[in-house]
Amino acid sequence: MSVHPLESLDAAELVDHLRGRIQALQGGPTRLAVPTHPVLEGLVQLRTGGVYAVDSASLGMALAAGASRAGEWVGFAGWDDFGVEAAHQWGIDLSRTVLVPAPGEHWLEVTAALVDVLKVVVLRPPGQVDAKSASILDARLRARAGVLVVQGDWPRCELRLSAERSTWLGIGAGRGRLRERHVELVARGGGRVPARAEVVLGDGEVA
């Protein structure tokens, strides 16, 4: 029988460790870590079966970018203004990206189908999402070991990522080219104290 030094883990790691042990004892699906974009490391850790909310299109791309850069397929539903150049700047491989720009009233069925075959799906719902619809996708995510990122509100999610207090650099004396943006990102949820981190985004990575 092995002994794990739990005292060496911080609070977040301890919670993840205990959840994994409980799921193993119950025979539930193992929640695997999904690659995260380097700019978000230490702030957000995606896990299969989870729903994560963002407040901007760029952050939605950021959460999908890590998996895409690692060779996974990702998808975007409800993005009729999908920015190809912005996606490229984040490192999303467009050859392994599925886009359904306007699923309309069939958004739930479309999203469920995407979750069946893609590692990360980024959804922009057409309106308020009810608890029943959310539960359907929650179950599908757990069964298929996928990740759902939602731009907007969601009845239940593990973490909400938002951008606050940003500053642009590159303009001097009223002239020049915008080079980068310093943004304070805040992650809330998961039963933890809100985590904050200042990140630097390139000119194509606008939060």
What is the reported pLDDT for 53? 96
Report if pTM > 0.85. Answer: no
Q: What is the pLDDT of residue 101?
A: 96
Per DSSP, 129 falls in state: P
Residues 119 and 171 in one domain: no
Q: Report the number of distinct structural domains present in the chain.
A: 2
Average pLDDT over residues 106-110: 96
Rg (CA), the chain: 18
Same domain, 123 and 191: no
Q: Is the pLDDT of residue 170 over 70?
A: no
Say whether both 57 and 98 belong to one domain. Answer: yes
Please tell me whether residues 109 and 130 are part of one structural domain. Answer: yes
Is 20 a domain residue? no
Same domain, 142 and 56: yes
Same domain, 113 and 41: yes
> Average pLDDT for residues 63-92, to the nearest whole number?
95
pLDDT band at 68 (very low <50, low <70, confident <90, very high): very high
Which residues form the domain of 185?
161-202
Residues 170 and 150 in one domain: no
Query: How does DSSP classify residue 133?
Result: H
Same domain, 144 and 185: no
Question: Any idea what the CATH number is for the domain that residue 55 is in?
Answer: 3.40.50.300
Partners of residue 106 on adjacent β-strands: none
Q: For 107, left (φ over 0), alpha (ψ -120 to 50), or beta? A: alpha
Which of 21-25, 62-66, 190-194 ranks highest by mean pLDDT?
A: 62-66
Between 50 and 189, the higher pLDDT residue:
50
The C-alpha atoms of residue 88 and residue 53 are separated, in whole angstroms, by 22
